[in-house]
Amino acid sequence: MKVAIVGASGYAGGELIRLLAYHSKAEVVCATSRKLAGTPLDQIHPQLKGFSNLTFTNPETDAIDADVAFLAVPHTAAMTYAGKLVSQGIKVVDLSADYRLPKDVFEKVYGVPHTDYFKAPYGIPELHRKDCINATFVSNPGCFPTGATLAAAPLAKYAHTIIYDSKTGVSGAGDNPSATTHYPNVGDNVGPYKLTTHRHLAEMQQEAAFLGSKAAVYFTPHLVPVNRGILTTAHILLKEPMEQKEVEKLYHDYYKNEYFIRFQKPVLGAVRGSNFCDIMVESEGTRVVAVSAIDNLVKGASGQAIQNMNLMCGFDEKDGLTGAGVFP
Ligand SMILES: NC(=O)c1ccc[n+]([C@@H]2O[C@H](COP(=O)([O-])OP(=O)(O)OC[C@H]3O[C@@H](n4cnc5c(N)ncnc54)[C@H](OP(=O)(O)O)[C@@H]3O)[C@@H](O)[C@H]2O)c1
């Protein structure tokens, strides 16, 4: 099956190519970058030397001959490709924020008009699998909302308040250097940002509502000096107290058929490079603390996108994604 990656020079694009190299049915035949058109892919992604002989091309939709396309481009760019590719008969997984929220919410949160809106399944397969199976287009969720929602999902409908506190690695910001990601500012340092206003809050609230929760949802992210990973501590304030055994049973039952959910102490080192989400949960009555760890570029982006592609194409959902984490 032929795969195109629009935005292949970035972090998520590179990770898609790395993971798809181990997929039994997919072959990446097109990798785009406007700035690097004509440059061999392995000059930018040296980790992929020997795994891809492609050269970057310009993202011209008419020239894309593929069965599936991933859009690993910034928000507002994806909406200029999505509809055209679908009309060419290509299945599309969009990694950007462009189709994750209803049009009016997107426009309010991102402060830009949506120029090609259509409704799309929200691709956290553990929660929305039915909508993703055989779909033509899937909107891949944000990295923070993935880890946060998976941590709280089993208890969401019993909560009156959910507070997400996340620590993220620097690759979450993409490969464009900035003062925030400058080494002396981020190395050996930890700090919060967008204390109450991060755009991913809207997705978290949307998912809580989808899970039948009326809880107030809050979110504060922190930048930590690691390349990959998101650790989210969810403080789930319950309407009625729940004992540890009851909470544990609820979580284990909820995720009993989910290959990518593991119950163990969540540490970034254990999920790095993998599509797993590790979860630990502890109750103290009306407050339950649930912590999740994911790799922002895998379960938080490209791995989950391939999981969605597998569902869309009728493949084994785990194809290409069974690798263990990389530690140390
Ligand atoms: N990094 C993460 O952890 C993460 C997690 C979840 C979701 N995402 C989302 O995934 C998308 C990609 O993220 P990233 O971190 O990989 O970003 P990135 O490292 O900045 O890469 C962006 C890619 O998009 C291309 N691009 C930029 N503007 C474009 C346009 N108008 N048309 C076509 N190509 C364009 C870039 O190449 P050229 O400019 O050379 O064309 C580059 O290949 C974003 O929407 C991001 O929010 C990222």
Non-local (6+) Cβ contacts of 170 within 8 A are: 181, 186, 223, 225, 226, 227
In the chain, pLDDT over 90 holds for what percent of residues?
A: 100
Nearest CA to ligand 1 atom 21: 10
Task: Tell me whether residue 265 is exposed, middle or buried, using C-beta atoms within 10 angstroms of its C-beta: 0 to 12, 13 to 18, 19 or more.
Answer: exposed
Active site residues: 143
Nearest to 226 by CA among 256, 261, 262, 183: 183
Q: Does domain 2-120 have CATH number 3.40.50.300?
A: no
Q: Could you tell me the distance, in angstroms and rounded to a whole number, from the CA of residue 59 to the centre of ligand 1? A: 13
Q: Closest ligand 1 atom, CA of 59?
A: 33
CA distance 322 to 247: 28
Residue 278 — pLDDT band, cuts 50, 70, 90?
Answer: very high
CA distance 301 to 100: 13
Q: Closest ligand 1 atom, CA of 75?
A: 45
Nearest to 150 by CA among 254, 239, 302, 268: 254
**Domain map (residue ranges) of the chain:** 2-120, 144-297
Q: Could you tell me the distance, in angstroms and rounded to a whole number, from the CA of residue 146 to the centre of ligand 1? A: 18
Classify domain 144-297 by CATH architecture.
2-Layer Sandwich (3.30)
Give per-residue pLDDT as tens, 112-145. Answer: 999 999 999 999 999 999 999 999 999 999 999 9
CA distance 124 to 149: 9
pLDDT for 224 = 98
C-alpha dihedral, 271 to 273 to 274 to 276, nearest 10°: 30
3-state helix, strand, coil in the chain (%, to 5): 35, 25, 40
Angle at 183 between CA 7 and CA 297, to 5 degrees: 35
Residue 218 — pLDDT band, cuts 50, 70, 90?
Answer: very high
Nearest CA to ligand 1 atom 17: 174
CA distance 143 to 164: 13
User: For the chain, what is the mean pLDDT?
Assistant: 98
Q: Could you tell me the distance, in angstroms and rounded to a whole number, from the CA of residue 222 to the centre of ligand 1? A: 21
Non-local (6+) Cβ contacts of 128 within 8 A are: 121, 122
Q: Can you tell me the mean pLDDT for 99-112?
A: 98
Model pTM greater than 0.95? Answer: yes
pLDDT for 136 = 98
As for ligand 1, residues whose beta carbon falls within 6 Å of it are 6-13, 33-36, 59, 72-75, 77, 95-96, 142-143, 171-172, 174-176, 296-297, 300-301
pLDDT for 58 = 98
Q: Could you tell me the distance, in angstroms and rounded to a whole number, from the CA of residue 9 to the centre of ligand 1? A: 8
From 73, 81, 116, 299, mutation site for ligand 1 pocket: most ligand atoms within 8 A of C-beta: 73
Give per-residue pLDDT as tens, 19-57. Answer: 999 999 999 999 999 999 999 999 999 999 999 999 999
Helix (H), strand (E) at residue 201: helix 201-210
Give per-residue pLDDT as tens, 165-205. Answer: 999 999 999 999 999 999 999 999 999 999 999 999 999 99
Give the chain's length. Answer: 328
